[in-house]
Structure 1
Amino acid sequence: MTLVWVIAAVMLIAAGAITMFRLLAGPSTLDRLVALDTVVAVTMCAIGTWAAYSLDTTVTYSLAALALISFVGSVSVARFRVRDTEQDGTTR
């Protein structure tokens, strides 16, 4: 059973690394916003995996808090962001 937890941890670390690359290299703000939402989702999956591994349900309250903060943050950024502009001043 330990092999399952190790595989889950490796997959979560790989997903976090790939998502962090997209967060840092994203060409537009919307790409970065989606990557940030994915980082939060991967973090929530990691917390859920830890709760299942350790049989400790006290960490599950943080899942609800992360979900609420992530949703409010994403909606706020999507609502109030300005368009990205090219070098010559046109919008894309």
Structure 2
Amino acid sequence: MTGAEFLELSVGAGFAMVFGAVLMAVVRLARGPSLPDRVVALDLMTVAIVAFCGLMAIAVRDTAFLDVALVLALVGFLATVALSRFAERARLRRERDEKGEEGEARD
């Protein structure tokens, strides 16, 4: 087996694994059950798509895909931070509402 054949085989296996990771993340995104599970699934999908871009850069020998991967990684990180912040605010609001209802029930 030559180096080129091994590289082609490795890239093909990499594509299959990334595709499997995206499928599993889609299932977790659809099934949930909670918002943090969905946020982690979206983050996993972003990482898998970045890996896909890296593999594509190797497969076609074009570095433009690496630029796309870098931008996607930065946007994915910011989206994860924003969704996590949203989830935390929703949790705090829910806890505050529950405490308010308990206080009214005692009066």
Normalised TM-score (structure 2): 0.72
How many equivalent pairs are there?
87
Q: Percent identity?
A: 30
Report which of the two structures shows the higher radius of gyration computed on alpha carbons. Answer: 2
2:89 aligned with 1:69, yes or no? no
- Residue 24 of structure 1 deviates from its aligned partner by 0.7
TM-score by length of 1: 0.83
Q: CA deviation at 1:80?
A: 2.4
Extract unaligned runs of 5+ from structure 1: none
Match of 1:32 among 32, 38, 49: 38
Kindly state the Cα deviation for residue 5 of structure 1 after the two structures are TM-superposed.
2.4
Q: Identify unmatched segments of 5+ residues in structure 2.
A: 99-107
Task: Give the RMSD, CA atoms, in angstroms.
Answer: 2.0
Structure-2 separation of matches of 1:64 and 1:3: 25
Task: Specify which of 40, 52, 60 is matched with residue 54 of structure 1.
Answer: 60
Q: Deviations over 1:5-51 (max 9, x none)?
A: 22112111111111110111111000000000000000000000010
